[in-house]
Structure 1
Amino acid sequence: MSSEQPFRFRFRVRYGECDAQGVVFNARYADYVDIAINEYIRTLFGDYQRLLDQDLDIQVVSLTVNWKAPAQFDDVLEARIRAGRIGNTSFTLHLEFYRYGDDKFIADADITDVMIRSSKMEKTPIPDNIRARLEAGAPGVLISHAGEHIVASGQAS
């Protein structure tokens, strides 16, 4: 990823997300990607309903996850998101997951969504205004659901 701070989303690993080995169960990463992407989309567009009100929606067509290290119960993970390829009707977002505190690289993922016309359930070109927001991203934005203490400077303690 480039040196510019990406969009970041923090969340805490819950006990029920771990498997018999005591680490996050692999299938949970699809949930983590979905939750992080929803926060990213909300940041870009203000509210998912704004897409739906335009008769637009997005559908996942590909999700690839690569694991680098285990995450465990009560770890705070930080998803860092940047836009990848933005095509005519689809776009790819790249996510990297790090353990907050020691910055251990846990996993990365690429998710490709296709833009659809909701009323017809057919793919449609990405409108220029949406393309522009996807291209701009949300650099430097931090959303946290982890419950860590954020001090006035914006840094967690």
Structure 2
Amino acid sequence: MSAYQREILVRFAHCDPGGIVFYPRYFEMINGIVEDWFEDAVGVSFSGMLFHRNLATPTVHFDVDFVARSAMGERLTFFLTVERMGTSSFDLRHVGTCHGEERLRCAQTLLFTDAKAMKSLPIPDDLRPRMERYLTGG
């Protein structure tokens, strides 16, 4: 098992007037990390899935713990692992840190769907083994 890793600079746009990350912005960061993981590690872009394969992966569940605040100018390191793979859905775990200090923990469930019909589809056979490289095994 390996974790996909991505660093994000906390920008002005991520923050409230006090200069700390406004919590909805974490969801934008996480979505960006998922998109990057699909492109960099799984080998298919979100645009390719949507426009060429008619696939979507909507989030159907989030469970988040905001452990400590993050401030503008900090660099957050996010780690993504796959916790479970079902027939159509899969669970991701995200941990956000700054200099080794945990800032955020998130469990996310996504579902493969037909993008037009919005009905669940099995995880594509060509993507499953690439996703499984990030499976924690438990």
State TM-score, norm by structure 1: 0.77
CA deviation after TM superposition for structure 1 residue 117, in Å: 1.3
SS at match of 2:87: coil
**Superposition pairs of residues 1-157 of structure 1, within 5 angstroms:** 5-43=2-40, 44-52=42-50, 53-99=52-98, 102-137=99-134
State TM-score, norm by structure 2: 0.87
Change over 3 Å in CA distance of 1:16–1:54 after alignment to 2: closer
CA deviation after TM superposition for structure 1 residue 16, in Å: 2.8
Contact 1:6 1:82 in 2 (8 A): yes
Deviations 1:72-128 (A, max 9, x none): 0000001101011111110111110011xx211111111111100123221111122
Equivalents in 1 of 2:56, 2:49: separation in Å?
A: 6
CA deviation after TM superposition for structure 1 residue 47, in Å: 2.3
Gaps of 5+ in 1: 139-157
CA deviation after TM superposition for structure 1 residue 21, in Å: 3.6
How many residue pairs match? The answer is 133
| Letter of the 1:67 counterpart | F
Change over 3 Å in CA distance of 1:96–1:126 after alignment to 2: same
Segment drifting more, 11-20 vs 41-50:
41-50
Segment drifting more, 14-23 vs 127-136:
14-23
Equivalents in 1 of 2:35, 2:121: separation in Å?
A: 20
CA deviation after TM superposition for structure 1 residue 48, in Å: 2.4
Query: Which of the two has higher C-alpha Rg?
Result: 1
Gaps of 5+ in 2: none
Equivalents in 1 of 2:114, 2:26: separation in Å?
A: 28
Segment drifting more, 53-62 vs 6-15:
53-62
When the two chains are superposed, the root-mean-square deviation of aligned CA atoms in Å is 1.8
